[in-house]
Amino acid sequence: MSQPPPPWPSTPGWHRDPEDPTMIRWWDGYQWTANRQPTPPPSGPFPPYPQRKKSGAAKPLLIIGGSLFAFLLVVGSCTAVIGSSGGDSSSSSARSSSTVTADESGSVTVFAPDPSAAAAASRSAVAAREQRDREFRRLTNKASYRNVTSRDWQLVAKNPDAHKGELYVIYGRVVQADAATGTFQIRVNTDGQQVDLYDFDINTIVTTGLASFKEVVEDDLVTLWVGVTGSETYDTTMGGSVTAPKVEANIVEVYGNAG
């Protein structure tokens, strides 16, 4: 059975409890609530209705909810970007490198690379690879190298810096191929022709290009397909120094041994 309202005006507040005159009870304007307390002395004012404290967890929950929403939005954006990549591999690469960012408010920004820049980079990479392949074929083709006379090679050796990049076929006797020079450099007395053993008289520093010196030893007679790289000055065991032409061997063949 419902309790009668307090005497008019029945505004929200503390009123005498109709069930227990010694208690006061809160009337919310529509019905009695369960909030009761002893009736205060007549001179004392009614205490204020206890207010419900706002939960301190509300703000963290809002932040967590916003972050979760931003994360789901980012995942959805990434999925859409990846899913939209068709059979075009270059387009797929460009899309997969997109950058997705989200700020604290949940706003998502997608930074996609310029398709024209990606296409230009791809063309540049292909061109560079093709250039390397052409250069490899050129340097491993014996027909790319110039045959010269003894005199012609002497002129090149006299001023090697003026002939950098030029390709020649030369012959020689290996005079140093030891632990000091290692497997990447040897010293050879050379000539432009396959002359007699003691007629090889142009001291030449030979480094590895595409060739290998692992099977080359001192006194080997060799044919070298080389590119001129300049000159080099080194100290001798006698305390002086020598400047010699320097070449890079791309093909080497041993045709004899002077030992």
b/e code 167-195 from CB counts within 10 Å (16+ = b) = bbbbbbbbeebeeebeeebbbbbbbbbee
Residue in the structure block whose two tokens are 């227990």: 20
Beta bridge partners of 99: 111
pLDDT number for residue 124: 87
Distance CA 86, CA 52 (A): 57
Instruction: Give the rounded percent of residues in the chain with a pLDDT score beyond 90.
Output: 43
146-257 belongs to which CATH class?
Answer: mainly beta
Does the pLDDT of residue 100 top 70, yes or no? no
pLDDT tens digit sequence for 216-229: 999 999 999 999 99
CB within 8 Å of 61: residues ≥ 6 apart: none
Read off the pLDDT of residues 42-66 as tens digits, 9 standing for 90 and up.
Answer: 655 555 555 555 555 555 555 666 6
Q: What angle do CA 201, 173, 158 make, to 5 degrees?
A: 35
Mean pLDDT of the chain: 80
Cα–Cα distance measured from residue 162 to residue 130, given in angstroms and rounded to the nearest whole number: 28
**Residue 45 token pair:** 């004012």
3-state class of 183 per DSSP?
coil
Token code pair at residue 151: 């005199």
What pLDDT is recorded for position 96?
Answer: 46
Return all residues near 205 (Cβ < 8 A) that are at least 6 apart: 185, 187, 232, 234, 244, 245, 246, 247
As a whole number of angstroms, the distance between CA 75 and CA 54 comes to 34
